Amino acid sequence: MGQKGPRFAVSISVTPIAGALGAEIGDVNVADDLDDDTIADIRRALLDHQVIFFRDQTLDVERHKSFTRAFGELFVHPNFQFGQENPEIVYVRREPGDEKILGQGWHADTTMMAKPPMGAILYAMEVPPTGGDTLFANQYLAYEALSAGMKRLLEPLHAVHNDTRVAGPNLDLNDKRASQVRDDENWRPTENLHPVVRIHPETGQKHLFVNPIYVHRFDGMTEAESQPLLNYLYDHAVRPEFTCRFSWRRGSIAFWDNRCTLHLAVHDSHDHVRHMQRTQIA
């Protein structure tokens, strides 16, 4: 999907950061009460570039939630509910010595849900002096680069998504990282089917919709039968020419379209704290 020209009603600036996807948005303070035209322009930039970034922002919890609500209802993640005051907020924290971090494999968020989140807004509260970047991959381009034969093979298929690799009492993730998930005995897995090739509801474009964190197999096939083709798609979907890389600073925001991108947190800031605040959009 190529970059598009400006179609903006107000004076935000949009500067692409890579050829595949990603743009930095300037001339806007997202903590303000933004008017409808500005919100529309930000949404247009998101649709055009799949992930957009803001620098030098200051967001408390209420302003973070308010900005998120401008684009849809707040999504409450079922695996991060511990009776906290703000169930819509997820804190993504990395401490020195963590063996694992949240989001370190390529994925789209929470795809085991019947209706996965439309997007997410991640705000940097504390970042390491170097490292801790996030990579994003354009799944429009991943689909477009497939052969005609592969497209025909994939379009009738559905994949089984569930969250047994990321939560529940049978994992030991909470012993290895600061970001905690539910692992209590009352936890139950969530599982749903999604098409392998989806049509974006706003752009009308086809894109791949598989990821190695949540997808276990194709519907109607065993895991062993599914794995060779899934492995090919996982490698293909994140080819370097489909990606961009974002280096965080304190006060930075990343806002990604969860429907047509994958992302990955780079686990290379071993001696430093990385503390982020996230909302998701239903």
| Rounded CA separation 44/112 (Å) | 27
Which residue is listed with tokens 């085991």? Answer: 112
Nearest to 61 by CA among 253, 273, 277, 255: 277
Which of 93, 161, 267, 278 is an active site residue? 278
- Range list of H helices, the chain: 36-49, 61-69, 139-144, 148-154, 223-237
Which of 64, 94, 263, 267 is an active site residue? 263
Active-site residue 109, yes or no?
yes
Active-site residue 219, yes or no?
no
* In contact, 277 and 88? CB cutoff 8 Å: no
CA torsion angle 225 231 233 236 (round to 10): -160
CA torsion angle 178 130 103 225 (round to 10): -130
Active-site residue 49, yes or no?
no
Note the Cα 42 to chain centre separation in Å: 17
* In contact, 106 and 234? CB cutoff 8 Å: yes
Which of 44, 107, 182, 200 is an active site residue? 107
Which of 41, 109, 163, 257 is an active site residue? 109
Show which residues are catalytic: 107, 109, 263, 278
